[in-house]
Amino acid sequence: MNNSEVKKLFGYNLKRLRKQKKISQIELSEKVDLAFTFISDIENGKKWVSPETIEKLSKFLDVEVYQFFLPEDYVFQEDKSIESFANEINESIRKIELRYLGK
């Protein structure tokens, strides 16, 4: 997954989660102190956000940070333990960090 794909996935999930909560882009922008146009650009995969902004978005939307990075077709399997699920997510984030942040 390249940088552009990560931005698009994040934006897609932000929009999906925002709409599930029936929150407009304007309301979200006011609550997390970002410009409305910036929210639109994030949702369209054109802009990236800081870790602090991701945290603000997750708190306001009342979702875990990992939910912004799940592929659209990801299905949580009930037979998996939470620990196993968390390990998968952490490994995916580690790979993204290694690839794009040079860690």
Give, in order, the Cα–Cα distances in Å from 14 to each of 84, 96, 103.
Answer: 24, 18, 25
Sign of the CA dihedral with 46 first, then 7, 47, and 55 last? positive
Half-sphere exposure of 76 (CA within 13 A, CB side): 11
| % of residues, the chain, pLDDT over 70 | 80
| Length, in residues, of the chain | 103
Q: For the chain, percent helix, then strand, then coil, each to nearest 5?
A: 65, 0, 35
- The share of the chain scoring above pLDDT 90, in percent, equals 52
User: What band does 87 get if pLDDT is binned at 50, 70 and 90?
Assistant: confident
Residue with tokens 């102190």: 33
Average pLDDT taken over every residue of the chain: 84
Q: Is the pLDDT of residue 13 over 60?
A: yes
Distance CA 91, CA 55 (A): 19
